[in-house]
Structure 1
Amino acid sequence: MTELRTDSREPVVPDETSARRLHPAWLVAAVTFATLIGAAAFRSVPSVLMNPLHEEFGWSHGTIGTAVSLNLLLFGLISPFAAALMERLGIRRVVAGALVLVAAGSGSTVFMTQSWQLVATWGLLVGVGTGSMSMALVATVTGRWFVRHRGLVTGVLTAAGATGQLIFLPLVAALAHDHGWRLPSLLVAGTALAVVPLVLLWLRDFPSDVGVRAYGAEPTSTVGVRTAPIGGALRALTVLGQIVRRPGFWLLAGGFAVCGMSTNGLVGTHFVSAAHDHGMPQTMAAGLLALIGIFDVAGTIFSGWLTDRVDPRYLLLGYYSLRGLSLLILPSLFAPDTEPSMWVFIIFYGLDWIATVPPTVLLCRELFGDDGPIAFGWVFASHQVGAAIAATGAGVIRDLQGSYDLAWYLAGGLCGLAALMSFVIRRPEPATA
């Protein structure tokens, strides 16, 4: 491998287009994909185990939803600090530590007997762990390692969460049905630990660390060249102080908060329980939620491809508008069996599930430049604040009214507001983007 020159002020790296081997960026992307799947394993647990925990301990849906809310909240609020720590300590150290936290939190649930312990394990430990590997990791990896196909790779890595859901959700549902909820919790802990060696062996911080440029970067580009570590937690707060003065940040954050409400917080947490209320077997409902994951993979990757070619504001306008219409219709589709209309919803909603991420990441990079990954971390924090509100709020609505219908209608209306907020964002001129 060609070495970096040490006798010049500017690092010189070889032209990867002339190399005969696969560019290291693709290996880093693959390890990141596997890491996000390991983190996503836990995301499959709460919705499936809500009823078993309710039946064993007598905890209300609102109480269990509170633990999920704390997890979702930390999943977002930790994100910008994790992005800053990745600049300071390196991606590998932060991600490996996060996976250990996920394993400790999930494995500890098997010993709990009181609801506060659920909050401490599901909520606190796993929330911090998964938050350190959230979408800020995607923004950091794609921002450092890719210039060409950045939108597409963002879509692929974002789809890792749906892939993890696809892999683990049916398995978790089957294990919970046959062996109780404790075995799935141990499975998640083992999965998170299994990814740690991959991270330690193959995940690298900068392309210049292995003597190459970022994939698709020009010879004079500084993208992917290691710089002196800066900041830490203080850097995350400094960037926040700068971006809150920009209207584009609030429009992105507001729209993404609704995105979190209408996906992770509502559908991801309560769909299985809502379907079960209408007589659908829990394993069948979990299978439908897993199918959303299948179509989400295709939809998010396609959204990444479109983001490289279409104005991201128009994409967000379409995504939020169509999602809102589908949620307004959903309450009429629940039944003991899966009707054709429900299959249509699953396919459509799956394609739209997190297709919003690639255009949002691109807008953050355009609006905030080198601070884009940390800025996206704060935008993603708003996503999880919305998800946390919906996770608890929908549970309370269910406890008070005996039905989730009002929660679906509220989410559908808010999606229309998110579509409008996204459309009015002003992109910078090409010369300054």
Structure 2
Amino acid sequence: MIPKWWCLMIVFSAFMIQVISFGTAGAIGLYNIEFIDYFNVGAAEVSLVGSINLGVFLGAGPFVSLMMRHMSYRRVAVIGSLLSTISLLCVPFLDNIIYLYIIYGIFTGLGFAMVYLPSSVLAGLYFNKHRSLVTGIATSGSGIAAVIFPLLVHSLIQYYGWKGSVFILAGLSLQCIVFSALLFPLAEKPDRKELKSVLTNSNIHDKQTNHPDIDHMRNNGKCENYNGQTCISENDKSVQQNCKVTKLMENSEPAAEKSLNHCYVLCDFSFFIFFLNNILWNMGVAISWILAPEYFVSMGLTKENAATILTFGGVGCFIGCIIGGGLGNIQSLSRLSMYISLNIAVGILLMFLPFKIFQSVEILSLIKFLYGLGFGGILGLLVIFTVDLLGEKALGDGFGYLMFSNGVGSIIGPPLGGALKDSLGTYDPTFFFAGTLIVVAGLLMFLIPIRDKFVPRPKKTATELTIEVISIHNI
């Protein structure tokens, strides 16, 4: 039996995994100048290294979620840690940028995806009442990474050269094995034969689907769901049998039984809209993330000023993840309304950048901080909102496809933004375009309540709603 306090260790592990994985992936931009000189190639070829890495990191979600179906989350994360570490160790020995595309771009990105997805999903599954706050805290690791790693990697390159610094990053990546080893599963998956036997012995099909004592027993704490991990009475054998039915039924995978197709989550209209939303806002965010430093320099600011502005964005992202997760935990607030509002606000803030009146270090830092707050809030709501749309049992598959949508947006957005700048000769239209994409992404989410108003979502059957207490009638 896993102690109750271990859930805090799961959150800590997910937080640290995000710090290391996102920090390492985001720091690749600092190596671009070194790669240009070392491999004797152009900036476009070098920028593709980071694009492939980020695209695979975020886009491998469906593949990783498929692995999570067939092995434990902890095993997937440990394998990913080893893969990312070994890949980083190979980078200093590569003498051709094509190999860098494969080793760093594909294998390191895949390794980090295999570490990130299981830790994020498991942190969400360990909690029910405070799930939104917990996932916000875990996600805030990406904000901390945006603050720490640029300064850290810059110092490492100065002291040890780019090759020596990559070895140190590989050592940090190796620590993900430790954090991955802490990802204990909630419970083992039930054996189908055992499930059938228990159901037969309990005569569950002969029982009523409601009982007047159910609500009373819930209120007195005698019957809790799977997250509570307790049952009505440990002394009554019949009750223990009923509790066994509850645990087996709740650990079965109803979504998987509905469809053997791994992409069944995309058949849900609301989640499909959420999927498209993530593609659009990630296109805008990727444009601002990759092109903002050069844009700030083109305004006449120094590289140090640009780094300072980006640091404020990282601080805002860290705080926003926690605030977004906390607000998402308040039942009286609509998570959908918050998510839409944050999308629109982030897009509008991005469209402020081209105006000359805002182009000073102080104002740009403030805008970037507010932008980071909104972006962090969006990240903090992703897991809990996925649960709202699909339920707990489909969280792994759903979040895997969200990562895929993030990867698609991250790969498509920057080339479009760069092409727009090349054709018009200025970055101003590029950032108007990026902000518009994010605003449109937020407006797209209005299709969910509109559709639900005219076509209500199917309700669960009585058996699905009361399966955890359906056999209380035996008491």
**Same fold, TM-score > 0.5, yes or no:** yes
Output the amino acid matched with 1:203. Answer: L
Contact 2:316/2:376 (8 A) holds in 1: no
The partner residue of 2:152 within 137, 162, 171 is 171
Match of 1:199 in 2: 180
Does residue 255 in structure 1 map to residue 237 in structure 2? no
Q: TM-score scaled to structure 1, two decimals?
A: 0.82
Match of 1:35 in 2: 17
The partner residue of 1:99 within 66, 81, 84 is 81
Q: Distance between the aligned counterparts of 1:25 and 1:103, measured in 2?
A: 26
Q: Distance between the aligned counterparts of 1:131 and 1:371, measured in 2?
A: 18
Cα 1:68/1:283, change in 2 over 3 Å: same
Give the C-alpha shift of residue 252 in structure 1: 0.3
Match of 1:7 in 2: none
Does residue 290 in structure 1 map to residue 311 in structure 2? yes
Q: Unpaired segments of 5 or more residues in structure 1?
A: 4-12, 17-21
Give the C-alpha shift of residue 288 in structure 1: 2.8
Does residue 404 in structure 1 map to residue 427 in structure 2? yes
Contact 1:84/1:235 (8 A) holds in 2: no
Does residue 129 in structure 1 map to residue 111 in structure 2? yes
Q: Distance between the aligned counterparts of 1:132 and 1:74, measured in 2?
A: 11
Cα 1:288/1:343, change in 2 over 3 Å: closer
Does residue 305 in structure 1 map to residue 326 in structure 2? yes
Match of 2:134 in 1: 153
Does residue 270 in structure 1 map to residue 250 in structure 2? no
Give the C-alpha shift of residue 197 in structure 1: 2.6
Contact 1:80/1:136 (8 A) holds in 2: no
Instruction: Point out the more displaced range, 158-167 or 63-72.
Output: 63-72
Match of 2:267 in 1: 245
Does residue 188 in structure 1 map to residue 163 in structure 2? no
Q: Distance between the aligned counterparts of 1:223 and 1:403, measured in 2?
A: 60
Contact 1:36/1:161 (8 A) holds in 2: yes
Q: Distance between the aligned counterparts of 1:100 and 1:230, measured in 2?
A: 33
Q: Unpaired segments of 5 or more residues in structure 2?
A: 190-223, 233-242, 466-475
Contact 1:73/1:385 (8 A) holds in 2: yes
> Where do residues 349-360 of structure 1 align in structure 2 (5 Å cutoff)?
349-360=371-382
Match of 1:83 in 2: 65
Q: Distance between the aligned counterparts of 1:235 and 1:187, measured in 2?
A: 46
Output the amino acid matched with 1:346. Answer: K
Contact 1:162/1:297 (8 A) holds in 2: yes
Contact 2:281/2:437 (8 A) holds in 1: no
3-state SS of paired residue (1:331): coil
3-state SS of paired residue (2:261): helix
Cα 1:334/1:174, change in 2 over 3 Å: farther
Does residue 162 in structure 1 map to residue 138 in structure 2? no
Output the amino acid matched with 1:59. Answer: V
Give the C-alpha shift of residue 186 in structure 1: 2.3
Structure 1, residues 47-77: CA drift from partner, whole Å, max 9, x if none? 3223443455453343233222222222233
Contact 1:61/1:399 (8 A) holds in 2: no
Structure 1, residues 390-413: CA drift from partner, whole Å, max 9, x if none? 233334455666543332121111
Does residue 321 in structure 1 map to residue 344 in structure 2? yes
Match of 1:10 in 2: none
Output the amino acid matched with 1:27. Answer: M
> Where do residues 410-429 of structure 1 align in structure 2 (5 Å cutoff)?
410-426=433-449
Match of 1:6 in 2: none
Report the aligned-residue RMSD.
Answer: 3.5
- Percent of paired sites with the same residue: 20
Cα 1:54/1:219, change in 2 over 3 Å: farther
Structure 1, residues 324-346: CA drift from partner, whole Å, max 9, x if none? 111112234699x9622112112
Q: Distance between the aligned counterparts of 1:367 and 1:117, measured in 2?
A: 41
Does residue 65 in structure 1 map to residue 47 in structure 2? yes
Give the C-alpha shift of residue 321 in structure 1: 0.9
Contact 2:156/2:165 (8 A) holds in 1: yes
Q: Distance between the aligned counterparts of 2:161 and 2:100, measured in 1?
A: 16
Cα 1:225/1:346, change in 2 over 3 Å: farther
Q: Distance between the aligned counterparts of 1:33 and 1:431, measured in 2?
A: 35
Give the C-alpha shift of residue 279 in structure 1: 4.4
Output the amino acid matched with 1:296. Answer: C
Match of 1:23 in 2: 5
Instruction: Point out the more displaced range, 315-324 or 38-47.
Output: 38-47
Structure 1, residues 140-162: CA drift from partner, whole Å, max 9, x if none? 3312x111200001111111111
The partner residue of 1:394 within 417, 420, 429 is 417
Q: Distance between the aligned counterparts of 1:380 and 1:235, measured in 2?
A: 23
Contact 2:281/2:409 (8 A) holds in 1: yes
Output the amino acid matched with 1:308. Answer: N
Give the C-alpha shift of residue 124 in structure 1: 0.6
Q: Say how many residue pairs are matched.
A: 407
Q: Distance between the aligned counterparts of 1:346 and 1:224, measured in 2?
A: 48
Structure 1, residues 90-131: CA drift from partner, whole Å, max 9, x if none? 121111111122222333222333331231133111111122
The partner residue of 1:371 within 384, 391, 394 is 394
Q: TM-score scaled to structure 2, two decimals?
A: 0.75
Give the C-alpha shift of residue 177 in structure 1: 5.0
Give the C-alpha shift of residue 229 in structure 1: 9.2
**Which of structures 1 and 2 has the bigger CA Rg?**
2
3-state SS of paired residue (2:184): coil
Structure 1, residues 341-378: CA drift from partner, whole Å, max 9, x if none? 11211210110123213433233223222213211211
Output the amino acid matched with 1:28. Answer: I
Output the amino acid matched with 1:122. Answer: Y
Instruction: Point out the more displaced range, 189-198 or 278-287.
Output: 278-287
